[in-house]
Structure formats: structure tokens, C-alpha cells
Chains A and B, each alone.
Chain A
């Protein structure tokens, strides 16, 4: 029999894992929403963050949480460099050109990681145990990941509502032409957005090292799951990414009572497919 305790345990796990999903998709969401650039290389940038954290740990014993100080600026630098050298040239042309470009970038980054670090799976041997409360068990590493997701989301919210460039980015999302008319430089906005998006992606790579082993080929899987979440939550809406992530996390977790674990990965895709057909703007999005 399925007990209430088990169900609440699964809901909590799904909720926490869902927040990680959300922050994973956050970078993809703002880049797509603001720039209309579909970044297929998103997951590979996450991997760059993971590998940076891994080597920081192996070579210098740096904890992945502390190596966030390394991966966030690295991600921002990579993002701006990628924007200036590649993405800028296709921005403004068809959405599909950016799709192809970032697909090439994804293949390139994946190949480079394989070439440099071999296909061996890498893991950091840090185990944080769990908090037990009322018969529920809360894994500390997943808790850290979900807290990090909330911090990033709050930070982005403050950035979007309190700072000039944050407001500028929102203005561009709402109406690009009007934003340009009031003197906002759209290529500066794009540069900033891409930098922030990739910085978040790389930092999530650090957090992931607390949870699982990674390999250079994990990137495309992460991109795929991020797509699901972005479309679920709605484009260009950072809060939507978190909602989409939590929704997917909880559904995957709770459905495991009824469904064989091998089928679980299909659930996200089937939900996505239905949402796309019924409500293409996403659950939180507006047309």
C-alpha cells in the first residue's frame, strides 16, 4: 500500500529536484526569451562548469560550492566571448540559424571535453548525508541545490526590477522596437543576457557535481530536459522556468509509484508534447 508518508517524501524530493531543474533551464529561458536565440549548447556549458569544479576539487581540493566563485565569472566570460565571436553574427537572421550555430557549438564543446578529459565519468566524493524529520528524509545535497536555485531566482528578480540593465532587458523582451526608441542599446542587452545565461548554466554545473557523476556526453541530455522545462514554464519568464521545473520534478517523482523507472524519462516529453499542442505559449507564458 502506498502510504501518505511515502507520497509526501516523493513530493518533497520532486519539489527540490524540480527547483534544480528550474535553475538548470533558467539560463536557456532568458537567452531564448530575450535574444530569440535557441541555445542548443546550453547543456554543454553546464558541463564546462562541472568539469571546472571537478578539476578545482581534484587539483586544489576546492569544494564545488566554493568553486561557484570560479564558474560564475568563467561562465560570464565564456558567454560574452561566444556572443561577440559567434552569436552576434547570426542574431537578427532566422531563429533557425542560431539553432544550427549553437548545435555546431555543442558538438564542438562536447568533442573538446572528450578530447581533453576522456569519456571517463567523473564524480566528486563528497557526501553530505541527510536531514531526517518526521520520518521524512531530506538529502542535504539536493537541499543545497534547491536553495541555490531560489537564490539565483531571487537574485535575477532583483536584477530585473531594481537595476537599469535589468529593466532594459525586460524592456527588450516586451517590445524591442520601443526599447530601442528610448535609447536602449540592444546589442549591449544581448551581450549581457548571453553572459548571464551562460554564467548561470556554468554555475549549475558546479552544483550538479554535488549530486551525480558527469561525462562529456551528458550535455545534450541536459539541454533536452531544459527545453522541456522552458516550454512548460513559458518563454522569457524566469519564474516560469522554476514553475516548469517544479512541475516536472514533482510529476516525475510521484509518478514513480505507478510507473516503471525506465518509463519515467518519457513522462517529461509526453507532457511537453501535449503542452506544445494545446498551449504553445507554456503554462505561465502569454502570447
Chain B
């Protein structure tokens, strides 16, 4: 016997051992998944399960956390008031949220939603953001389970022919339309606008809609570029914007880039009459991070705490108005809610209403019910078109004014006049000695005030137009 023979045998033994290792791992993982995902075999459902993933890590983590907190608060409110009455079962059932972290990753969304549907969830809620919602949609569609979108705004979600995907928020094409209307109402009216948007599906769908709308209102677009969101310096582009004589900057994408634009404007000393950015200024961290630089920045918003829809009928939910939502959220999580939290909570309310009205836990029935729903919550109007796209809800424009976020448009619900020209950014300021935590505590002590407890009637009559393009102020 040569040692070569043994060598051979040794190799094949190693190969067998390795295969065994793989088998053991796969089997153990399989058993784990099987046991966690097998359906409960009870006679009747004792709980309404609602499945979702949220980006709790990765690039969208802060938005995902805000949305999840909104939904958790809804579940808590529902369960403390005895659950949702389901007439076909003759009893009220509590709700149970099953959520996983998708790491802002489409592949994880695909596996986790497959996991959720086998766990026998009754309904699905989409993750935050358009790409992640798009990754979850076909799984919901294939298993005929209702998927409610609260943070996926791209219009393309409702252009795919999905039957089970319903949007609760206004789609991306609507975002900047009211900003243009607001600018159009100013006297003297600005003429030169610079567009500087992020290069991502959501921002692109916003830009695609606002560009022709701004032109149709007689504005001149003097600068029009997109940027990569991960960029850390925009000073060359902002220098060019300054040199074009732009009065207004419209753009943005998400949080960090919005802050970077404001920082760079300040460090260059570029003066603009108004800046309107997507998403970022709505977040309370915007004020905490930027302090006085935030002053005058406007943001198109899905919801603001001062909006009060309680006079509308039918009005649904145990949240009486925006201010109450704000206070509840604040006391529960110690942080001011942005509109992401509100739209997530409202998504829960929409589901709750459709279950009560249809009396069923069957997704197909509930989806049909949603088509005929037409009601208000603290978040605003709910009505969808045949594709599931939201057409009832309307957007407002908010502006930071002296550390307070005011609603400035439409004027019927405004809590303050637009600050224009806002001379953005403000003079070079140094808050060297002030720590950010103290800025933040200052913010928490001054919650968004509500000078006028205005009704939203004018808002609705003005904006209740199915398509964004034809929206006009009265």
C-alpha cells in the first residue's frame, strides 16, 4: 500500500465530511424556518396577523424606524380598545404585527415576504421606500394578500397592474406641485428656479412631474441636474446655481443629502430666496443638526400636526386630530413624529376600517372594500383609483420659521405666511459652544405649535382633483 492510496482516501473522506457539514447546516436551518413559519392549526383565527419588513439597518434605517414606531402605536391603540370587530366571525380580534429587518436590501425583502406569507399572515404592509415596496409587491400579488404601501411613493408602483397593492400616501408626482403653486402665488413672484434632485426612483418621479408643471406656470428652469445621494460635497454644483441667478432651489432626495445641500449653501455664502427640499426638512433632526440654518427651508409634506380633519364625515379612528397624534407619539417614543410615522399609523387605520366595513379577514374581500372606501382620518382623505393608487390624500407645504415648523400652503390651512424671500441660508452663524443635544432639547420643548386650529375644508375642495398635473389653487 502506498501512501498515495491513503491520500486519496483521505481526500474523499474529507469530501464526504464536508457534504455532511453542508447537509447538517441546511437541515438545521430548514427545520428552524419550518418551525417558525408553520401555520397555526387552530379552528378559527384568534388574532389578526399583519406581516412586514422594515429597513431597520442600512441606508433607510431612520425612516424605517419612524414608520415601524407609527405602526406599533396603531397596534397598541387597537389592542387596548379591544381589537377589531370582524362581523363574519362575530367577535373582535386583536392585531399582531410580525416584522423583520430587511437591511434596506431588495433581496432580503424577497426572502422575508416569502417567509411571511407562509407564516399565514392575514395582511401585508410594505417596507419603507419605493424599491423595497416594489420587491415585496409580486409576492403579495402571487399569494393574493393585500399589501398596503405607506412609504413607497414612486408612481411606477401602481403602473404594474398589481391588484393587491394599495397606497395610503400621495404618490411622488404630487410632491412638488403645491410648492410650485405656492411660488406662483407670491408677490413678487420668483422667476428663476434651479432643480437639483437625487438620482433615485422616488426623486426622479417627483422631478418628472414638477418640471413640466413649473414650465407651464411660467417659471424659468435655470439649472437642472441630478446627483448621487451618497455624494458628500455639492459645493461645485451650488456655486454654479449661484452663478445662474437662481432665486429658488427645488430638489433633494432623502435626509443626509438635504442636510449637505444646506451646509454647503451656508459655507459658500450663497443667497437664495427660497429652498424647498424633499423629505429631509420634515425630520425633526433637520432642525437639531442645522439649527438656525434650517430657518426658511420648505418641505412638501404628507401630513403636519396642525391639520384637523375631524369635521369631515365619515371620520375614522381613535386619534381625534393631528395634534393628538403628535402628543401621543411624543409621549410614547420621546421624539417628534414626522409624516412617515403619521402615514404608517394611518395605514393601520385604513386596514382597520376596511376590515370592519367588509366584516372579513379575506384579502380579496378587504381589497374590494377599499375600492369603495371614501373617508377621513387624522392623516387626511382616503380614496383610491382602480389601480390602488391614492387619489384622495393631498399634500401641504411646511416651512421652518424660527425653530417652529409652520404649514404655509395651501393658505386655507396655513399656520403662517410663507417667509419669502427667506434669504437662505441665514448669515454665517456659529453655534460652536452649543451642543447638539441642547439644540434638540430646545426642539422638544417647543412642539410644533398650532396658531390657527383651522379646518381642512378649503384644502380638500382645492386639492380634490384626481391627477396631480391638473391641480390648481382656487
Residues A212 and B436 in contact, CB atoms below 8 Å apart: no
What is the CA–CA distance of A76 and B36 in the complex, to the nearest angstrom?
Answer: 47
CB contacts under 8 Å to A, within B225-246, are 225-228, 230-237, 239-240, 243
Instruction: Tell me, rounded to whole Å, the shortest Cβ–Cβ distance linking B115 to chain A.
Output: 23
User: With A and B bound together, what is the CA distance between A125 and B268 in angstroms?
Assistant: 16
With an 8 A cutoff between CB atoms, is B431 at the interface?
A: yes
Partner of A123, one of B57, B233, B289: B289
B437 touches A142 (CB 8 A): no
Distance A265 CA – B236 CA, assembled complex (angstroms): 13
Verify A13–B269 contact, CB threshold 8 A: no
- B437: chain A residues within 8 A (beta carbon): 58
Does the CB pair A129–B267 fall under 8 Å? yes
Whether the pair A261, B435 counts as a contact (CB closer than 8 A) is no
Q: How far is the CA of A127 from the CA of B231 in the complex (A)?
A: 19
Bound state CA distance, A82 and B155, in angstroms?
49
Using known A-B contacts A120-B62, A121-B256, A221-B230, determine if residue A6 contacts B436 with beta carbons closer than 8 Å.
no
A115 to B, closest residue via Cβ: B57
Is B434 among interface residues, defined by CB-CB distance under 8 A?
Answer: yes
B236 and A252 within 8 A (CB): yes
A114 CA to B59 CA in the complex, in Å? 11
| B346-372 interface code vs A (CB 8 A; 1 in, 0 out) | 000000000000000000000000000
Complex CA distance for A10 and B243, rounded to whole angstroms: 11
Given contacts A58-B437, A127-B293, A130-B428, contact A253 B236 (CB under 8 A): yes
Q: B266 contacts which of A127, A213, A217, A262 (Cβ < 8 Å)?
A: A127
Contact with B along A124-161 (1 / 0, CB 8 A): 11111110100001011110000000000000000000
- Decide: B239 and A9 in contact? CB cutoff 8 A: yes
Tell me the smallest distance from the CB of B135 to a CB of chain A, in Å.
20
In the assembled complex, A187 has its CB within 8 A of some CB on chain B? no
Give CA–CA (A124, B230) in the complex, Å: 18
Cβ A114 vs Cβ B57 within 8 A: yes
Question: How far does the Cβ of A221 sit from chain B's closest Cβ, in whole Å?
Answer: 6
Q: Is the CB of A17 within 8 A of B196?
A: no
Within 8 A of A (CB), among B250-296: 255-256, 259-260, 263-264, 266-270, 285, 288-291, 293
Cβ of A135 to closest chain B Cβ, rounded Å: 10
Query: Does any Cβ of A come within 8 Å of B199's Cβ?
Result: yes
Identify the closest chain A residue to B104 (Cβ): A119
- How many Å from the CB of B60 to the closest CB on chain A? 9
CA distance A256 to B239 in the complex (A): 10
Q: Is the CB of A137 within 8 A of B269?
A: yes
Interface size bracket, B side:
35 or more
Are B429 and A3 interface neighbours, CB within 8 A?
Answer: no
Q: Judging by beta carbons under 8 Å apart, are B236 and A119 in contact?
A: no
**What's the Cα separation between A183 and B166 when bound, in Å?**
75
Q: Is the CB of B227 within 8 A of A124?
A: no
Chain B residues, Cβ within 8 Å of A14: 236
Is residue B474 within 8 Å, beta carbon to beta carbon, of the partner chain?
no
User: Do the beta carbons of B433 and A129 come within 8 Å of each other?
Assistant: no
Give which listed residue, B230, B240, B243, B267, contacts A140 with CB less than 8 A.
B267
* A265 touching B61 in the complex, CB below 8 Å, given contacts A129-B267, A213-B256: no
Closest chain A CB from B291 CB (angstroms): 5
Instruction: Give A212 to B259 CA distance when docked, in angstroms.
Output: 8
The number of residue pairs between A and B whose CB atoms lie closer than 8 Å in the complex comes to: 137
Does B259 contact A261, Cβ atoms closer than 8 Å? no
Let me know if A142 and B267 touch, CB within 8 A.
yes
B439 at the interface (CB under 8 A from A): yes
Measured in the bound complex, the distance between the Cα atoms of B431 and A129 in whole Å is: 11
Complex CA distance for A127 and B239, rounded to whole angstroms: 18
Cα A57 to Cα B437 with chains together (Å): 10
Identify the closest chain B residue to A60 (Cβ): B435
Q: Which of A125, A221, A252 contacts B291 (CB 8 A)?
A: A125
Give the docked Cα–Cα distance between A252 and B228 (Å).
14
| Interface membership of B142, Cβ < 8 A | no
What are 28 A-B contacts with C-beta separation under 8 Å? A5-B243, A14-B236, A61-B433, A119-B57, A119-B62, A121-B62, A123-B263, A123-B436, A125-B289, A126-B431, A126-B432, A127-B293, A129-B267, A129-B429, A137-B270, A139-B264, A140-B267, A211-B232, A212-B232, A213-B256, A213-B260, A213-B289, A217-B59, A257-B240, A261-B196, A261-B237, A262-B199, A264-B227
Ranked 9 nearest A-B pairs via Cβ: A129-B428, A139-B267, A119-B61, A261-B227, A256-B236, A262-B199, A130-B269, A253-B236, A123-B289
Min distance, Cβ B189 to any Cβ of chain A, angstroms: 26
**Cβ-neighbour of B259 out of A9, A213, A260, A264 (below 8 A):** A213
Given A129-B266, A256-B237, A261-B237, A58 and B436 contact (CB-CB distance below 8 Å): yes
B439 surroundings in chain A (CB, below 8 A) = 125
Besides the contacts A132-B269, A212-B232, what 8 more A-B pairs have beta carbons closer than 8 Å?
Answer: A119-B59, A123-B289, A123-B436, A126-B430, A130-B267, A130-B428, A213-B289, A218-B232
**B239 A120 Cβ-Cβ under 8 A:** no
A13 to B62, CA, bound (A): 32
A6 engages B240 (CB within 8 Å)? yes
* CB neighbors of B among A249-268 (8 A): 252-254, 256-257, 260-262, 264-265
Interface status of B58 (Cβ within 8 A of chain A): yes
Chain A proximity of B80: nearest CB distance (Å): 28
- The answer on a CB contact under 8 Å between A265 and B228 is yes
List the A side residues contacting B291 at CB < 8 Å. Answer: 125, 127
Residues in chain B near residue A256, CB distance under 8 A: 236-237, 240
User: In the complex the two chains form, what is the Cα distance from A53 to B270 in whole Å?
Assistant: 28
- The answer on a CB contact under 8 Å between B226 and A261 is yes
CA A129 to CA B430, docked complex, whole Å: 8
Q: Is the CB of B231 within 8 A of A265?
A: yes
Please state if A262 and B436 are interface contacts (CB–CB under 8 Å): no
- B contact residues around A132 at 8 Å (CB): 269
Q: Which residue of B lies closest to A142 (CB)?
A: B267
Q: Which chain B residues border A217 with CB–CB below 8 Å?
A: 58-59
| Inter-subunit contact A125/B431 (CB<8 Å) | yes
Closest Cβ of chain A to B148, distance in Å, is 25
Q: Indicate if the CB atoms of B235 and A128 lie closer than 8 Å.
A: no
Is there an interface contact between B235 and A139, defined as CB atoms closer than 8 Å?
A: yes
Q: Contacts of A141 on B, CB cut-off 8 Å?
A: 267
